[in-house]
Amino acid sequence: MIIANIQIEKAIAHEVIRAADLVERPPIFSEGLMELGDNGKSLISKRLISAVGSGSHCVDVTVTDASEGSPFDRATMMLDCEDEGFVRESQLLAVALSEAQTTGSIKAGTVVFIVGSCAVDGEQSRFHAIIKADSDQGFYRQIRDHAITFEYVKDMLLGESQRLLKIAFIIEDVFCSPAEPSEPREPEDFSIKVFDSMMQNSGDGNAAAYFYRTFLKCRQADNSARKTKQFYEIARDFINALDLPQGDKVDLRGDLVAYFRGNQMTLEPRTFARSVLPQGTQDSFIRACRDKGMTQAITKDLGLLKGKMRKQSVKFSSNVTIYAPPDVFRDAIEVGEVGEDGWTVVRIRGTAQVMA
Give me the sign of the Cα torsion angle 99, 104, 108, 112.
Answer: negative
Q: How far apart are the first and last CA of the chain?
A: 56
Q: Bridge partners of 11? A: 114
Three-class secondary structure of residue 184 per DSSP:
coil
Please give the helix or strand (H or E) that residue 116 lies within, else none. strand 109-120
From first to last of its 356 residues, what are the pLDDT tens digits of the chain?
A: 678 889 999 999 999 998 989 989 989 999 999 988 888 898 888 888 887 775 556 778 889 999 999 999 999 999 999 999 999 999 999 999 999 988 777 778 899 999 999 998 788 999 999 999 876 666 667 787 777 777 666 666 665 555 557 899 999 988 776 545 456 788 989 989 888 766 554 444 444 678 889 999 998 776 778 888 899 999 999 999 999 988 888 889 888 988 898 888 788 888 899 999 999 999 999 999 988 888 777 778 888 888 777 777 777 777 778 777 777 777 777 777 777 777 888 888 877 766 65
pTM over cut 0.75: no
Distance CA 193, CA 173 (A): 13
DSSP class of residue 186?
A: P
Please give the helix or strand (H or E) that residue 137 lies within, else none. strand 136-144
Q: Which residues contact 164 (CB under 8 A, 6 or more apart)?
A: 107, 109, 133, 134, 197, 198
DSSP class of residue 21?
A: G
Please say whether the beta carbons of 143 and 157 come within 8 A: no
pLDDT of residue 83: 94
Which amino acid is it at 158? L
